[in-house]
Every structure is written in structure tokens, then in C-alpha cells.
A and B are shown apart, each in its own frame.
Chain A
Amino acid sequence: METTSTLEKTLRLLALTLVVIFFMFPIFWIFLMSFQTNETILRIPPQVIFEPTLSNYTALITGKLTSAAGTLDIAFMKNLGNSVFLSVTSVALALVLGVPAAYAFARHKFKGSEDIAFTLLSFRFAPPLLVLLPLTQYFQWLGLANTYIGLIWVYQLICLPLILWIVRGYFEDISADVEYAYRIAGHSWFATFRRIALPLAGPGIAAAGLLAFIFAWNNFVFALVLASADKQPVTVGALAFVTSSGIQYGQIAAAIVLSVTPTLALALYAQRYLVEGLSLGAVKG
């Protein structure tokens, strides 16, 4: 172990504190906002000491928003459900399609394999709005507009390339000979894929899945254009708080806290996989 001087330790602590404050402050402020009414939020100068209220959360959970102009229905819980459903199914589908594809790209060099892999990656280059306008037309013809299937399909533009390219790297990192050794001991290639390649690339697949989940969860523009209120996720649903009688900052803050919680919890839970997965080398035999 190297010895560090007290000065170095202090400086390090200071630097870390600054970084943490810089990144965490907005979230912390939003957290505080979610327990305040619009009046206390908009006070000038802003104050950290206030009387906390749960009214924002009750409004979101009951779906009734009472404001000066009257009562408004808020479909926030429905939106939250949509977010969970859309993200989970999109990532699941992307894993089912992407992991075998990533394995194929990693293990079998066939004519045009690089081109196909790159084309799939290029989905992420295109500005989503450019894709969305013609897509809206097609989806209306196909009857996919404003359906979960249509949204999950479009979400593959986000999830599939991500999973494909990250997982491919993990498969390439596994020595092909480990698989050969398994095959020559009397197992089919599919058994080898299932019992050797998949477990060894496990941390990578988990990391890619988690990243894809976060990207899908945070998506805004696809659902904004392609879905109506009852299919929209929280990212779009939060727009409802911009009402004719003003912006409901307290509710927005509470909505943000509620919608960040699942991804945050997931990331904390899967932290081990994320570190292991994103630092590579962990799967070498």
C-alpha cells in the first residue's frame, strides 16, 4: 500500500466533494422541491427551510390535481406503468434479438458481416426527429401508431444497437478455444452458446441491458410523436403539468423523483455488474 499524506487526502476529499455537489445538487434541489408547494418554491430568495408537504405526491398518486383553475386529471401513475412496461419489454426484446446476433457477429466472420453490424450501429447516428416524421406516416398505414407494439418496435432503435455492440465486445473477449474445448468434449454449438458463452459474457450482458433500460426509460421524442396520452411514458407525461394556469413545479419535481427512483434503484442494485461489466477483462478465461 502506498502511503498518502494528510494534505493529499484532504485535497482528494475536497475534489470528490466538489464533483459530488456539482452532479448531485440539481437532484437534491428537485428532491426538496417535491415537498414544497408552488408558492414556497417560487419564493425569492429561495429558502432551504420550509414546511414539507406531501400534497404533490398525493396528487400524483390519486391522479387529481387541484389548482386555482379547478381540478385536473393527471395520468401520472398510468404513465409510470407505461414507462416500466415499454422499457422492460423493449430491453427484453432487444436482448432476445441482440445477444444471439452479437454472438454471430463476434464468432462468425461472413461476407458483409461488418457492414451489417455497422448499419445496425448507424441507427444511433440518425437524428430521431428525422426518422420520426416518415415513420409516423408508415405507422398510421400499418395501424401501429399509438400501439405498444409500435412503440416497442421503435424503441429497438435505441436498445438493439447498444446491446449488440456492447455484448459483441464481450463475446469477442472470450477465447474461442474455451468454446472449442466444450464442443470437442461432446456438446453442440447451441449448448456451448448457452452454457459457456452466455455465462461468461453475463456481466457484460447485464451491463448492456441496464444501459439500454436507462436509455429507453429516458426516451422522450419517440413516445411524444407516436403515442397518445394513454400510452405515454413519464417523460412525456410530465408535460401535463404545464397547465393553462401555470406550471406545477412541485408536482413536476415529485414526478421526477418518482420516475428516477426505479432506474436509480436498478443501477444501485446492479452496480457490481456494471463495474465488472464495463471494466472488461473480467470474463477472460
Chain B
Amino acid sequence: MSGAGLQIKGVDKFYGPVDHGVHAVKQLSMEIAKGEIVALLGSSGCGKTSTLRMIAGFEAVSRGQISLAGREVHTFAPVKRNVAMAFEGYSLYPPLTVRENIAFALKASKLPQSLVDEKVAYIAKLLEIEDILGRYPSSISGGQQQRASLGRALIRDADLHLLDEPMGQLEPQLRAILRGRIKHYIKEKGLTAILVTHDQTEANALADRIAVMEGGVLQQFDTPQMIKERPANLFTGTFVGEPPMNVFDATVTVSGDTMVFGLNEGVRLEYAVSDFSPAVLAELRNRKKVSLGIRPYAVRREDGGVPARVSVSQWLGDQTHIAADFAGGTMVLVEHDRVRLGLGDMIALKLDPHNLHVFDGESGVAVSHGPELA
């Protein structure tokens, strides 16, 4: 796979003087195979858009290398990189119609007109913009502009497609339909794509792998499933997943056959030592403070569990979200049945050991996921 796809090696981005300016992207290294779809996921200012712009060539790389299809491209002008991009702000050419905007992207490839028409028609059908092909960007809605912009990027036969928040302006239903179609189109044509988004549903639905970024640092680069099941650190654990993972500070004590997580307000979670692998036990013994994480879907109500006081209970039509005061914080749990609970009701919570994520209390790096080492 090396050589064919995209390789980013030790890339730094400074705005302002190198080593003194704003350090937007820090020592980023990642490899994306040809034909893979990768999502850059993170909050605003996490460095994902800077990364995209460095790959496209709109921002200079302060340090490091970017190779695409076997060529070191980080010093190339954008025109030489053979990259297609859909911009967050659409950036259609105002004097051209939607059809011309989309067809325009093919101009450099010098295809015969009949083939261009065919391709435009195909993309327009895919994105449901056939009826606005003859109109000008200023006369269509934001969502339509966004689809036109997406079409202009997808129609090209580039080595890499960069999609910057490609569906942010679309209505939820259309977004769901287009996600599937776009993924199918990209896979069918064997395109390589990087998607920048802050919407984890979009990342999960479209991407083969997700790169989670925060503070300019790549936190984790893995499949959506692995990121959910085995978050590399506390940030990824709490950032990915809806509602977010519950996290509580805890101390660890192992004595005899039992291991105890001591939480605030005297809450004690007791487990048998045999619930964890010896390696996990050895790791946990060395730590005084940890952060204990559990996903809302994994929290069970069961008699004999730890008592908690309900503060919110909401039926969302397909699931119930319950928030309860627990160990000095709030525990959120999700149940698929309609649960009738009132404010102040007492419930008993059970946290199964195989659902526990343990993170280092200081660095936030994952120590264990369930019984296994991280």
C-alpha cells in the first residue's frame, strides 16, 4: 500500500514563524491506502482543516513530508498535486451555472463533450441536483450549492478527494440518503478520500477509518468500531459516542481476590480479580488515580447495584435517556424501552467489568478496556 496512497510524515504546521507561531498541527503522521475513505474528526480548531489545506497545497507545510501516489507533493503547487476538493463554503464560480461549475472541473482533463455531459448527468442524479443544473449559484439554496460543490469535486478523477464538511448544510434525511450514495460511488470508482467533519455520525457512516484530532495532535487513527470499543485515551473516549462516555475519577485497591475502584462520595465498585487479566491487574496496581469510563449504553439497572438518584428521564421516541446523580457526578444511561422514572427516584446501577474503560488519571492514556490491556 505504501507509495500508492497518501503518506503524511512528521508534519508540523505553524501559523507565523516556525517554532514560535501558533502550532496548529503537531508532528502528524498517517498513512492512507489507495481506495480508502478516512474521516478527520475533531472540534473546531483541532487542526483538521489545516491538515486538509496542507494536503491540497493551500497552506505550506512547516516541517515534514506529504507523498501522494508515490510523489512527494508537499512542495508542489496545488495545480500539480492532482487533488480534488469540496470546500466548506462551496466556492462555486458565480458567473457559471451549476452545470458549468461541475463540468468545469473536467476541463483540464480534455474529455470529449459527450462524455462530460454523461458524467455531469450521472453526478447530478446521484446528488439530486438535476433540476438546478441550468441555474446560477446565487439563485439556489445553501444545501443545493453544497451539493453542486460536492459534485464538482466528485466528478474528477483525482488521486485524492478532499471533502471539507461536505454535508453540513443538508437536511437530515437527504444527508442520510446521500451518505450511502456517496460512499457507494467512491468505493465503486476506487477513489481515495479524506473527509473533514465534526459530525461523528457522518464519520462513522462514510469512513473506513477515523482520525480523531485534538489540539493539533492525532489522538487515534482506527476503524469506527475500534475507536468506539478501544479508545486510545480519555479524549477519544469522551469525544466519540453519543451520548458521551461517563467518566469518574477513581482510586484502585487490590486486596486478596477483590479489586475495588473507590469513587467520590464513598462509592465503591467491587470486582473479582479474575474479571481482569493479570497484565491489567499489574498495571492498575501501580496507579493511584485513574479515570473510569463507561458508555451510557453499557450501564445497567439491576437490583443490588450502586444506588443513584434520577435527575432527568426523557423518552426520545425510540430510547430513554436517564441522568442520575452518582458518585458526586452525573451518570447517563440509555435504555431502549420506555422507562417511567420521576425526578428523585432511586435506581440501582450495575457496571459490568467487561464494559469498563480505565484511563491513566494524569495522562488520560487508556490502560485497559474490559479485562484486556489497552
Contacts and interface: CB of A to CB of B under 8 A. Distances in A.
Given A185-B108, A186-B108, A178 B93 contact: yes
Interface string A168-208: 00000001011011111111110000001001100000000
B58 interface: yes
B79 A196 contact: no
Contacts of A200: 94-95
Contacts of A185: 84, 104-105, 107-108, 152, 156
A177 B91 contact: yes
Nearest to A176: B58
A285 B104 contact: no
B79 A186 contact: yes
Interface string A19-31: 0000000000000
B92 interface: yes
A265 B239 CA distance: 64
B77 to A, nearest CB: 7
B196 interface: no
Nearest to A284: B94
Q: How large is the interface on B (under 10, 10 to 19, 20 to 34, 35 or more residues)?
A: 20 to 34
Given A180-B58, A184-B79, A187-B79, A285 B94 contact: yes
Of the four ranges (under 10, 10 to 19, 20 to 34, 35 or more), the interface on chain A belongs to 10 to 19
Given A188-B77, A196-B93, A199-B95, A181 B137 contact: no
A134 B261 CA distance: 86
A147 B83 CA distance: 54
B361 to A, nearest CB: 43
Contacts of A189: 77
A181 B94 contact: no
Contacts of B104: 185
B77 A177 contact: no
Contacts of B137: 285
Nearest to B145: A285
B92 A178 contact: yes
B342 interface: no
A180 B152 CA distance: 13
Interface in B248-277: none
Interface in B296-310: none
A215 B89 CA distance: 38
A184 B87 CA distance: 11
B89 A177 contact: yes
Given A285-B91, A285-B93, A285-B94, A181 B152 contact: yes
Interface string B133-163: 0000100000000000100100010000000
Interface string B73-104: 00001110101110111111111000000001
B61 interface: no
A177 B87 contact: yes
B260 to A, nearest CB: 56
Contacts of A285: 90-94, 137
Interface string B111-152: 000000000000000000000000001000000000001001
B105 A178 contact: no
Given A185-B104, A185-B105, A178 B79 contact: no
Given A185-B107, A187-B108, A180 B93 contact: no
Contacts of B84: 184-185
A123 to B, nearest CB: 30
B83 to A, nearest CB: 6
Contacts of B149: 181
Contact of B56 (A180, A186, A283): A180
Interface string A195-225: 0100110000000000000000000000000
A180 B78 contact: yes
Given A188-B79, A189-B77, A285-B137, A182 B89 contact: no
B16 to A, nearest CB: 10
A283 B85 CA distance: 22
A178 B105 CA distance: 13
A196 B57 CA distance: 18
Contact of B93 (A182, A184, A186, A283): A182
Contacts of B105: 185
A177 B137 CA distance: 15
A199 B108 CA distance: 20
Contacts of B79: 183-184, 186-188
Closest CB pairs A-B (n = 8): A186-B108, A177-B91, A181-B91, A177-B87, A178-B91, A183-B78, A285-B94, A184-B78
Given A178-B93, A184-B78, 11 more contacts: A177-B88, A180-B56, A181-B87, A183-B78, A183-B79, A184-B79, A184-B81, A184-B84, A199-B95, A285-B91, A285-B93
13 contacts: A177-B91, A180-B91, A181-B85, A183-B78, A183-B79, A184-B56, A184-B85, A185-B84, A185-B105, A187-B79, A187-B108, A189-B77, A200-B95
